[in-house]
Amino acid sequence: MSQSGKGFGLPGLGKMKELTEAFKKAQQVQEGAKQLQEELDQLEVEGVAGGGLVKVFLSGNQEPRRVEISPDALGEGAEVISELVTAAMLDAYTKSTATMRERMEDLTGGLNIPGLS
């Protein structure tokens, strides 16, 4: 017999090593998630409607920051402004969640836990 099987003499030893590596990766992901949370809190995402008449700003975690309404929009009336604010909010929310999803995928991309894939 050759020595190429060295390290696998005990049953389950290879699986234990895989599990240990998976826990290390999970720990790295957890640390990365904390950092990502801080980055998303600092990030500002802009939602726009009406060709820029209304802008809504959210954090990367969808926390409202501010709304900007152009003086040009004021003559359109409350109903139109309401629709524009809603559309800008949806735009900002969509961008913010897409950004969060992309960053989470980047963070967890290398995670491969045995039995969970």
The per-residue b/e assignment along 55-87, b for 16 or more CB within 10 angstroms, e otherwise, is bbbbbbbeeeeeeebeeebeebeeeebeebbeb
Mean pLDDT of the chain: 83
Report which of 46, 51, 95, 43 is spatially closest to residue 67, judged by C-alpha positions: 46
Domain ranges of the chain: 17-108
Does pTM surpass 0.75? no
Residue 55, pLDDT above cutoff 80: yes
In terms of pLDDT, which residue wins out, 94 or 7? 94
Residue 1, pLDDT above cutoff 50: no
Task: Specify the pLDDT at position 24.
Answer: 82
Residue 94, pLDDT above cutoff 80: yes
Architecture of domain 17-108: 2-Layer Sandwich (3.30)
In terms of pLDDT, which residue wins out, 27 or 67? 67
Looking at residues 59-73, what average pLDDT do you find?
93
